[in-house]
Structure 1
Amino acid sequence: MAAIWQVAKDDNQAYPALDGDIETDVLVIGAGITGLTTALQVAEAGKRVVVLEALRVGGGTTGASTGNLYAPVTKGLSTLRKKWGDSVIGQVAASRTEAVDYIEETARRLGVDCAFHRRPLYRVLTDDDSALNNSLDEELDALLCAGLTASLVSETPLPFPIHRGLKLDNQAQFDPLRYVQGLARELSRLGVGLYEYSSVLDIDFDHCRAETATGKVSAESIVLATHTPKGINLLQTGMEPLREYGIAARLSGQDYPQGILWVLDPFHSIRSYQHAGQDYLIMIGEQHKTGEGEPGVDYYGRMESYLRSKFPVASVDYRWSAQQYGSADGLPYIGRRHGSERVFLATGFAGDGLTWGTVAGRLLGDLILGHDSRWSELYDATRFTPVKSMKEWVKENTAVAKHLAQDYLTPTEVKALDDVPVGEGRIVALEGDKLAVYRNELGQVSAVSAVCPHLKCLVHWNPGDRTWDCPCHGSRFEIDGSVIEGPAYHPLARRLSSE
C-alpha cells in the first residue's frame, strides 16, 4: 500500500546503492525531510556530505505524511503549556513558524514544484461536549499566548455542521515527497553522495563509521535522521511508537474543502489535494500503539466508513499507514547523542514531523557548523526532565515489561503451521522456537523468528499492512523478515519457507 504522494512520478530520480568504502565530513543516515534539510545546510556551507537511505528518497515517514505544515502541534499547545509554561510554547510556535517559512522559501529558491499553498488550520468539535469545549477554550488561550492569531468560528469548509471550532490562518500544505525529491536533486548538483537501498547494518559511534551490506562510510560527524535512533538508545525507553492510517478518496458532486481540518471526534485530519489533474480528499486517523491493534478490526475499513458517512465518496483510491514516536515530555529531541560530540540525532516528533523535521534539520546544521542556535537548549537531546517525563516513561516501560513477560508466557495463537489461515500471519511455537508464520493465497508458508532483534520482544501480526510489528519500540518487518523501520538493524531470522 502506498501513500498518494508515493505514486510513481516521471521525475522521481533514482540514486545508486552504496558500493565500496568512502570518507566524508558529514554522514546523514536517512533521506527524509530531517536528513535532507540537514544535508542541505551543511553542503551549502562547503562540507562533504554522504546520505544513506534504506529505501528511496522520502520513502519512509516523510512520504507517508499528510503534507500539513503548522505552528502549533496536534496534541495542542495547551497540553505543552501545562508541562512547560508560557515561554516555551512561544518558542515552540516561533521555531515551527520559521520552519514553515523556510520550506516556502527553499521551494521557491530551488524551483521545487511541491504544490506549496498557504491554508488555514481548523480545530473543530462536532458535539457539545463540556470537556472538549473546555479544551478548545484552553487551546485558544494558548495559541494567543504563543503569539499566534487565532479565533473562534462556528462554520468551516466542511460539508457537515460543527458545534464550534478554532481557526488559525496562514498555515500551509504541500506535497512532502516532491519537496524532498527537490532537495535531493539540489544536493546531487552540489556533489553530495546520495545512496538509496543502502540500509545501515551497524554504526561505530566512537569512530563515526557506518556499515551497509556493500560498503562503509567514515565521517567526522554522523546524523541519525532515522525517525527513531538506530540500535539501543535510552531515549527509546520514554517514546511511544504509534501507527496511524490514511486514505485518499475521490468525491462525487462535492467541493473539496480547503484547509487543514482537525475534527476532534476523537481525531480525524482532513485535507484536499490535486494529483495529476484529479482532486482527492485525504484523511488520517484511527491511531493505535504499534503492534497493539485491536484484534479483528479493519482500520482501513473503519476509516472508509467514517469518510462515507461525512462525504459523497465515489472511490477510495489509496490506503497507507505511517509511524510516529512521541517524546515523554512533549518536545522533540534534537541535538548531540548522549556521550558523543560528533553524533547527532532527531526524534520524538509525534504527529508533527514535517515541521519538526525542518526545525531539526536547520538546528543540526547549525550545531555541525559550530553556529549558535537559539533553539538548541530547548530541544537538547540529552536533557533530563523527570517530572515532565515520568508519566509517559512509566507507561511505556510498563508496556514493554508486559510484552516481554506476557508474550513469551501466553500460549501461541495457533499450535501448528497448518492452522495459519490463508492470507494471514500467526505466532507458532515449534521445537521451543517462537515463529512468525505467514501463509500466502496459494497456501505456501514462510516463517521467520518472532523475536525482534532489537531487545527481544515478540512481534505481532499487522493484518492491515501485512507486516510484523514489534510492540516494544516500534521496529517493523516485512513478511520475509526484512526491516521496514524502527531501531532494529537486522531482519527477523529466516526459519523455513515452502514457497
Structure 2
Amino acid sequence: MELHNGKLFWPTTYNDTEKEFDTHYDVAIIGGGMSGALCAYVLSREGLKVAIIEKRQLASGSSSANTGLLQFSNDIMLHELIDEIGEEQAVRFYKLCQEAVGHLEEVAMTLPVSPEFTRRKSIYYASSPLHLPKLKKEYKTLKEHGFPVEYWSKKDMKEHLPFSKSGALITHGDAEVNPFRFVNGMFEYLKEHNTTAFEGTEAIEVKEDGEKVIIETTKGTLTASHVVHSTGYETPPLSENIGTEINRSYAIATKPVDDLSQWHERALIWETDRPYLYLRTTVDNRIIAGGLDEDPAEAPQSMEKIEKHGKKIEKEVQKMFPGLNVEMEYAWGASFGESLDHLPYIGRHPDKERIYYLLGYGGNGTVYSMLGSRILRDLILGRPNKDADLVKLDR
C-alpha cells in the first residue's frame, strides 16, 4: 500500500549496494523502518547476527512521515484503560511506555549521528469544558500511581501560554526526536554491529522448517533461527484477522519561526478531542503539527487535498499562537494504524514457534516498538518476560 504522499520534511535533514546473503542468521527482520531498526539494535546488543529485509529503501515508509513525539501517555487515558483491562495491567503498560522513553534516550546517545532527541514536558488540554471531568479523573489516576503529572486550571494556562482552555494535564519526562535521523542513525550504527540490511528486497514467502525459518525473497533465499515481522501499517501476514483499523492523517512543518519564547518550554501539545491536533517544535525553530485523521487507509494521492488539509492545520496553529508568523513549508498525508483495544500487537505467532511480530499500532508507535523490541529479545533468547501477555497477538 502507499504509506505516505506529499512533501516530507524529515528526509531533508539527513543525507547519507548490493549485498550477498550469508547462509544463516540468528534473526531476520522483515521491515526496515523504525520498528525494524529498534528491534535489530536491541538484538545486536545481545551479539546476535541479524538480517533486515526491506522491499523499499530503509526508513522510506511510515518512518519518514513520523512526527517524532515520544510520550508515555496514550491515545486511551489510563483510567479508561483500567476499565478495559484492569488496574494492574493498565498501570504496568503505562509504566512500560514511561520506561521505553528512557530506553529510546539511551539508544539515541549511542548513535553516530545526532537524532535531535530532547526531553520535553507535554501539555494535554481539554478541547471542550465538557472534557474537564475526565481530564481531572485522569490527573487523579496518574498521580495515584506515581506518574509525574500536574494539573493546570484555565488561569494557569493563561499564565503560561498565549491560548487558554478550560484545563490541562502537564506530564513530565516525555521527549521529541527527529525520527528520520534516529532510524538512519541506528542503521549506521548497525553496519558495525553484526547486522546486514538488504534494501529493495521483498520477502515473498516465510515458512518454518524444523530448527530454522526459510525466507524466499525477490533476490534469493536465506534462513534464520527466528523471523520478526515489523511491517508497520501494511497488512501483517497472519492467518487470522487481528483487531486493527488503518486510517490516514495529515501533518505539516512550518518555516522557521523567529521567536518561540511564548511557547512554554517548547512542550509537546495535544488535546482531548478525537481525532486530535498535536504539535511540537524542532531544533531549527519550525513547528511540526498534525491531525485531521480520516477513514481511508491509503495515503492521499492528491497534492491539492494535502495542501488543503495542511492549510487547515496551519490555521489551527496560528489561532493558538497568534503572535507567531505560522507559514506552512511542508505538508504530507500518511497511513496511520491503531488497534481496536489501543494496545500494540507484539509477540510470537499463536501457532508458530519461530515467527514473531512487532506491530506498534497507535499514536505511540515508536514507544511501543521500543518496549516491544525488549519483549521480543527475551522471547527469542528464551528468557521469561512477565509483560509479554499484555501485548500478545492472541489476547
Aligned to 1:284: 290
Which amino acid in the other structure matches residue 288 of structure 1?
E
1:261 paired residue number: 269
Counterparts of 1:153-302 in structure 2, within 5 Å, are: 153-154=152-153, 155-156=156-157, 158-205=161-208, 208-228=213-233, 230=235, 232-233=237-238, 236-250=241-255, 254-255=259-260, 257=263, 258-266=266-274, 267-274=276-283, 278-291=284-297, 298-302=308-312
Identify if the C-alpha distance between structure 1 residues 235 and 270 changes in structure 2 by more than 3 Å, giving closer, same or farther.
farther
TM-score, normalization: structure 2?
0.86
Q: Which residue of 1 aligns with 2:350?
A: 338
| Offset, 1:292 | 8.6
Which 4+ runs in 1 deviate beyond 6 A? 292-297
Equivalence for 1:147 = 146
Q: Deviations over 1:151-177 (max 9, x none)?
A: 111345543222211101121111122
Of 347, 351, 356, 2:368 maps to 356
Tell me how far 1:100 sits from its aligned partner. 1.0
Matched letter for residue 242 of structure 1: N
Q: Distance in 2 between matches of 1:65 and 1:165?
A: 25
Counterpart of 2:246, as a letter, is P
CA separation of 1:205 and 1:317: change in aligned 2, threshold 3 A: farther
The CA deviation at 1:74 is 2.4
Matches within 5 A, 1:463-482: none
SS at match of 2:318: helix
Report the CA distance shift for 1:215/1:95 in structure 2 as closer, same or farther (over 3 A): same
Structure 2 counterpart of 1:263, one-letter code: E
Deviation at 1:148, TM superposition (A): 0.5
| Residue 160 to residue 292, structure 1, CA distance change in 2 (3 Å) | same
Cα offset, 1:22, TM superposition: 4.1
Secondary structure in structure 2 of the residue aligned to 1:313: coil
Identity of aligned residues (%): 25
- Any idea what the Cα deviations from partners look like across 1:11-65, whole Å, max 9, x if unmatched? x3xxx35556743221011122221222122222222211112233322222321
List runs of 5+ in structure 2 lacking aligned partners.
1-5
Of the three residues 315, 318, 322, the one matched with 2:334 is: 322
Q: Which residue of structure 1 aligns with residue 3 of structure 2?
A: none
Return closer, same or farther for 1:211/1:146 CA change in 2, 3 Å cut-off.
Answer: farther
Distance 1:308 1:51, change over 3 A: same
Higher RCO structure (Cα 8 Å, ≥6 apart):
2
Q: Is the 8 A contact 1:272 1:282 kept in 2?
A: yes
- Deviation per CA, 1:210-258, whole angstroms, max 9, x where unpaired? 2332222211110001114755425644211121111011365542631
CA distance in 2, matches of 1:232, 1:44: 27
What RMSD in Å do the two structures reach over aligned CA positions? 2.6
- Give the corresponding residue for 1:488: none
Please give the alpha-carbon distance, in whole angstroms, between the structure 2 residues aligned to 1:290 and 1:79: 27
Q: Which amino acid aligns with 1:198?
A: T
Amino acid across the alignment from 2:368: W
Partner residue, 1:377: 389
Return closer, same or farther for 1:227/1:142 CA change in 2, 3 Å cut-off.
Answer: farther
SS in 1 for 2:91: helix
Q: Is the 8 A contact 1:227 1:347 kept in 2?
A: yes
CA gap of 1:20–1:359, structure 2 versus 1, over 3 A, is closer
What residue is the counterpart of 1:7 in the other structure? 12
Distance in 1, Cα, partners of 2:232 & 2:346: 11
2:314 is the counterpart of 1:309: no
Distance 1:113 1:348, change over 3 A: closer
Structure 2: how far apart are the matches of 1:219 and 1:293? 33
Structure 1 pair 247–147 and aligned structure 2 pair: CA distance change class (3 A): same
Residue number in structure 2 paired with 1:433: none
Amino acid at match of 2:267: G
In 2, the alpha carbon distance for the partners of 1:293 and 1:115 equals: 27
Say which one has the larger Rg. 1
Q: Indicate the SS of the match to 1:223.
A: strand
> Which amino acid in structure 2 is aligned with residue 246 of structure 1?
A
8 Å contact kept, 2:37–2:187:
yes
In structure 1, the gaps of 5 or more residues are 384-499
What is the number of residues matched between the two proteins?
374
Partner Cα distance (1:235, 1:50) in 2: 26
Distance of 2:231 and 2:73 partners within structure 1: 23
SS in 1 for 2:341: coil
Amino acid at match of 2:217: T
Amino acid at match of 1:68: L
Q: How far apart, CA to CA, are the structure 1 residues paired with 2:32 and 2:140?
A: 37
Please state whether the residue corresponding to 2:286 is helix, strand or coil.
strand
Structure 2 match to 1:107: 108
Larger deviation, residues 71-80 vs 160-169:
71-80
Q: Deviations over 1:117-149 (max 9, x none)?
A: 111111102542x2x112212221232244202
**Do the aligned partners of 2:132 and 2:166 also contact (CA within 8 Å) in 1?**
no
Q: Distance in 2 between matches of 1:372 and 1:3?
A: 41
**Maintained 8 Å contact 1:250/1:317:** yes
3-state SS, counterpart of residue 371 of structure 1: coil
Q: Which one is further off, 362-371 or 307-316? A: 307-316
